[in-house]
Structure 1
Amino acid sequence: MFSTVDVAVVGAGLSGLVSAYRLHRAGAEVVVLEAKDRVGGRLLTSSTRAGVAVDCGGSWVGSRHKAVLALLGEFEIDLVPQFTDGLNLLRVRGRIHRYRGDVPRLRLHEMLDLARAQWLLDRMATRLGSPPWSGGFAAKLDERSLGAWMRRHVRTTAALLVLKMVTAASFGCRPEELSLLAFAAHVHGCGGLADLVGVHDGALANRIAGGAGTLPTHLARRLGDRVRLDHPIVEIHRSPDRVTLISRTHQPVHARRVIVAVDPATADSIAHHPPLPVERAELQRRWQMGTGIKAHVIYQRPWWRDHGLTGATVTDTGFVRLTFDVSPAGAGAGVLTTFLGPAIADDPELLQPDSAPRRRRRVLDDLAELLGPDAQHAEDYIEQDWTDEPWQSGCVPRVPTGVLHTGYPWLTRPVGPVHWAGAESSHIGEAHMDGAVRAGQRAADEVLATLATVARA
C-alpha cells in the first residue's frame, strides 16, 4: 500500500489519531499502526446487553480541557453533564455524611484539615515551573512520595480518605507508591486540586455522549485505510534518511519520521536499533502504570435519584470505596461505576481473575449497604481490567519517586527521526483526554516543521 510514507504513527489511541489527523490535513502522507484490533487505546466504550454505552477507560471532560473540547466541537459531538442534582455520600468510621457540591460537610476540625491539605498542595503546584517537572523545587518533590507528605501534613481520617481516593482514581495506586512531584504536577496541569476532583466546572463536569470511544472513532473514519489494526510494531530501525518499523506479522513499513504515541511503559516493549539514549531507555524502564478494575453496574433506571442521591459515594471501608453515576442522558438505564484495585480494596483476593462471580456479588452487596436494597437488582455488570489489556501496560500513570525530574525532557525530546506523543507527555491536562490531544498536536507540529526543513534543504 505504501513504499515510504512521510510519517508512521505507532498507536491508534487518541493522541496518535490526533497526530495523524493533523498531519493528514496538512498534506503529509501518514499511516497509523495499531497493535490492537480496535482504535481508541485507553478510551474504550463497551455496550451492555441492552445497548447502553459505558466507558471502560477514560470518561470525563472538564471545562478547562480546551483542546479536546475544540475537537469535540469540530466533530459536533455532544457532552453529557455529570448528574449533580442531589446529595453525595461520604462514610467515615461508620458515620455517613450527606452533602451537596464538591466538598463534604465534615466536623469542623476535619474540614479545616482537608482545607489546609488542599491549600498546601495547590501552593506546591503553583510553585512548579513550565513544564512542572523541571527545576530545583521539582527535584525536591521528586525525592518524596505523596504518602510521606500526607503522613506529615494530614491529620484526620476524613482528609486522608479523600486524598487516598483521589490517588486511587487518578493513579491506580496508594499514595506511598506515587511521587509527590507526579501528584503536584498533575494538580498543576489541572489548575488546582479543586478542579481535579470537581464536578461543578471541574475535571468531572461532563462525559461524551455515546461514550468516549466516539471521538477516536470519528478520527479513524476521517483517516480511512491509513489506520492499520492488528499491526504491532516490535522494532524500530533508524537510519539518517529513513525509519523502518518491524512487525512480526506484516511487511516492514518505511517512513521519514515516526511518532510513538503510547505511554512510556508500553513504549518499552519496542526494540530500537541503534539503541535509544540511556536517559530515554531508563525513563521507559522505570515508568509504571496503575492497576485496578473499572466496573459498571447497570440498572433499569437510576433509582438512587428517587431518594435524592447523586450516586457519588466515598467510603473508608468495604470493597467498593468510590462510585459515580454515569447514566446516559435522558430517561432510561441507570449506571453506577466504581474503581476496584489493590490500592483501596479490603479483600485483595477478590481481584483475582477467577474471582469474577464473587467480585460481582460483593460489589452489589456493598452498593446495597451504601445506597439501599435496590442495588441488588442489577440488569448487567461489566468490568475492564487494564492490566490484562493486550498491548497496554495500564490505563493511568503511576510514577514512582526519582523518575519524573530526571526523565521529563525525554517525554518529548525526539530521538533522531522518532518523536513522542501520549497523554503523559503534555503538562497541561496531563493523563486526561485533553493532554492526549495536546500531545498529539505538539508531536504533529514537530514533524511538520522537520519535514518542511528537509524539503527546503
Structure 2
Amino acid sequence: MKELNTDVLIIGAGYAGIAAAKKLREAGKDFLVLEARDRIGGRTLTENLSSGATVDLGAKWVGPTQHLVWEWIKETQTATYDTYDQGKNLLKFGDKISAYTGTIPKIDPISLIDLGLAISKINRLSGQISTSEPWNHPKAKEYDAMTLATWMDKHLWTAKAKHLFEIGIQTVFAADASEISLLFALFYFKSGDNMDTLISIKNGAQQTILKGGTQGLVKKIAETWMDKIHLNEPLMSLTQSDEGIMAESAHLRVKAKKCILAIPPVLINTIGFNPPLPQQKAQLYQRMPMGAAMKVYLIYPTPFWRELSFSGQIVSDEYPLKVTFDVGHADTDLGILLVFVEGNDARNFIDLEEQERKKMILERVEKIFGHQAANPVQYLDKCWTEEVYSRGCYTGLMGPNTLTQLGPQLRVPFKHVHFAGTETAEKWSGYLDGAISSGYRAASEILSQN
C-alpha cells in the first residue's frame, strides 16, 4: 500500500470536489483527490456517440442565474447554445394530442386555472423559506410532517391539473411527490429561484447547453492538476486523531490535516469511520435516498419535427414517456431527442430488457410525431440508480420529518472532516451550481482555520 501526505484530502472528483480543489490550489494549499470511479465528473457524464452526437448522460443544463457555472464557462471559454424552443409543444393526455406554446400545456380552462393557482401558491410558500435554515420557518414542522402529494391533494381540484403538476415534480426531483416532504420541496424550489424557473427553458434551469458537455467543462477546470487526482480509489476507511485524518482505499493510505467529503449522502455511511459518525449525521444520511432518473437519447438523421413546426417538447401521460426535449444544435444535421423517465417509472423501466425499453419508447414517440420517429439511427439509455458511486440522480431527497429533525447536520463538520456536495448547497441545491458553491464553502471553512 502506497502512503501519501497532504494538507487536505478531498473525497470525490465531481463538481463539488473539483471546486474545493480549485479553491485550495488558488490559496496555495497542498491537496489530493481520491475518486472511486475511473473518471472525474461525478454525476456528469458526456459521451461522443458513433452517430456523431455528443450527449450528456448525466447533468446537462445551465440556467441564467447559475452564476458559478457561468464563471467556469467563461474561464474555460466553453461554447454554449440554447435549448431549441421554437414552434409548437405537444401534449398527449388520454387519447387526445394537442399543441401549445410556452411552459404550461394547453388544457381546459378550469384545469388550467387550477394548475396556475397551484404553481402560484407553491411559489409564494417557497418564497418564504430560508435556504440556509429552512427548519426555522414558523410552519416548518407542519410542512415537514406532510408529503408534497398531501399538499397537492388539498390544493389541486382537477385530475388533469394534478397529473400535470405531478409530471413537473417528477421532472424536477426525479421522484414522485409522495416521496418528498413539502418543506423539502419548498426549500428546493427557493434554492433554484422558484418552481417556474425549475420547469422552464427560457430564463429557466433548462435554458443553456454546453458544447462538449458538462463533464467536458469540469475536465477543463482540472486539466492542469490531474496528477493530484487518484482514480479507481473508493474510500474504505477514515480515521481521525488530534493531528488529522488517515484515509485508506484499496491501494493508498493518505495522511492529511483536513478532509472534504464531496460524495452523495447515500454513500457516506458506506465508509468506515473511526471514531464513528455522530449518530444524527449517520441518521441523516440513512434518510436521504437518491432520486431515480433515466435518460433516453433518440438520434435521428435530421430534426424532422422542426420542419413540422414542432419544438420537440412533449408532455405525455403515458408510461414511460412523460417529457422530451430537442437538445440538438446547429453544428450538426442530427436530430437529438432527449426523453426523461423518472421516479418510480424509472425504477420499473430499468428492469425491462433494453430492446423492450426501446420498443416502448419508440412506439410512444411515433404515436405523437408520426412514422419518421420510428427509426432513429441510434438509441441509448442510462439509468443512474445502477451507478454504484451515485445510486441515483439528480440529488439526495428528504421525506417527511427529516429536514426539521436532522437537516441542521447537513453542513456541520465532524472533527477534521468537512462536507460538500450539491445536497449541502443553499443556492441551486441539486444542480451543478450548488455543487460548485458547496466545494468553495468547504474549502473556505478549512482556509479560515489557518
Q: TM-score range by the shorter chain?
A: over 0.9
- Of residues 224, 232, 235, the one that matches 2:234 is 232
Label 1:341 to 1:127 Cα distance change in 2 as closer, same or farther (>3 A).
closer
Q: 1:286 to 1:113 in 2, by over 3 A?
A: same
Tell me, yes or no, if the aligned pair for 2:170 and 2:343 is still in contact at 8 Å: no
1:399 paired residue number:
398
Work out which of the residue numbers 124, 147, 150 in structure 2 matches 1:148.
Answer: 150
Shift of 1:32: 0.7
Amino acid of the residue matched to residue 41 of structure 1?
A: G
The residue aligned with 2:315 is: 314
Q: Hey, what's the Cα distance between the residues in 2 that align with 1:344 and 1:375?
A: 22
- Whole-angstrom distance in 1 between the partners of 2:330 and 2:270: 40
* Superposed counterparts of 1:52-451, under 5 Å: 52-135=53-136, 136-247=138-249, 249-341=250-342, 343-344=344-345, 350-352=349-351, 355-396=353-394, 397-450=396-449
Q: Is this contact kept in 2: 1:132–1:185, CA < 8 A?
A: no
CA shift digits 1:246-285 (9 cap, x unpaired): 11x2121111100000121122211210011111111111
SS at match of 2:252: coil
| Offset at residue 45 of structure 1 (A) | 0.8
Change beyond 3 A, Cα 1:328–1:372: same
Question: What is the Cα deviation at residue 373 of structure 1?
Answer: 1.1
The whole-number CA distance in structure 2 between the counterparts of 1:361 and 1:327 is 22
- Asked if the contact 2:131/2:427 (under 8 Å) is kept, the reply is no
Distance 1:386 1:85, change over 3 A: same
Deviations 1:11-39 (A, max 9, x none): 00111011111111110001110000011
2:400 is paired with a residue of what secondary structure?
Answer: coil
SS of the residue 2:127 aligns to: helix
SS in 1 for 2:302: coil
**For the structure 1 residues 406 and 150, does the alpha-carbon distance in structure 2 shift closer, same or farther, using more than 3 Å as the test?**
same
**1:342 deviation in Å?**
5.3
Q: Give the Cα–Cα distance (whole angstroms) in 2 for the partners of residues 432 and 130 of structure 1.
A: 14
Which letter does structure 2 place at the counterpart of 1:176? S
Count of matched residue positions in the alignment of Structure 1 and Structure 2: 447
CA contact (8 A) 1:141 1:180 kept: yes
For the Cα contact (< 8 Å) 2:260–2:419, is it kept in 1? Answer: yes
Report deviation, 1:398: 2.9
Deviation, structure 1 residue 371 = 1.4
The alpha-carbon deviation at position 202 of structure 1 amounts to 0.9
SS at match of 2:160: helix
Letter in 1 for 2:176: R
Q: Cα deviations across residues 116-156 of structure 1 (Å, max 9, x unaligned)?
A: 10111011101112425221322221111011111111112
Which amino acid in structure 2 is aligned with residue 172 of structure 1?
A
Preserved contact between residue 321 and residue 344 of structure 1 (Cα < 8 Å) = no
Q: Give, in whole Å, the separation in 1 of the partners of 2:131 and 2:386.
A: 35
1:455 maps to: none
Q: Is the 8 A contact 1:168 1:343 kept in 2?
A: no
Instruction: Measure, in 2, the Cα distance between the counterparts of 1:38 and 1:15.
Output: 15
Deviates more, 1:159-168 or 1:299-308: 159-168
- Please give the per-residue CA displacement for 1:384-438, whole angstroms capped at 9, x wherever unaligned: 1111112222112332111122222221110111000001111210101111111
Distance 1:54 1:130 in 2: 32
Question: Post-superposition shift, 1:177?
Answer: 1.1
C-alpha separation in 1, matches of 2:444 and 2:293? 35
Q: For the structure 1 residues 276 and 349, does the alpha-carbon distance in structure 2 shift closer, same or farther, using more than 3 Å as the test? A: closer
Distance 1:270 1:379, change over 3 A: same
Please give the secondary structure, in 2, of the residue aligned with 1:183: helix
Q: Is the 8 A contact 1:235 1:270 kept in 2?
A: yes
- The runs of 5 or more residues in structure 1 that have no matched partner are 453-457
| Cα distance change, pair 49–234 in 1 and its aligned pair in 2 (3 A) | same
What is the identity percentage for the equivalent residue pairs of Structure 1 and Structure 2? Answer: 29
Instruction: Report the CA distance between 1:311 and its aligned residue.
Output: 0.8
In structure 2, do the counterparts of structure 1 residues 132 and 294 end up closer, same or farther at CA, with 3 Å as the change threshold?
farther
Distance across 2 between alignment mates of 1:419 and 1:413: 7
Letter in 2 for 1:334: G
Q: 3-state DSSP class of the match of 2:311?
A: strand
Q: Structure 1 length normalisation: TM-score?
A: 0.94
Which deviates the most, 8-17 or 148-157? 148-157
Tell me the SS of whatever aligns to 1:429.
coil
3-12 vs 390-399, greater mean Cα deviation: 390-399
Q: Indicate conservation of the 8 Å contact 1:132/1:138, yes or no.
A: no
* Alpha-carbon offset, residue 6 of structure 1: 0.7
Take 2:83 and 2:194, find their aligned partners in 1: how far apart are those partners?
Answer: 19
Distance in 2 separating the partners of 1:416 and 1:109? 56
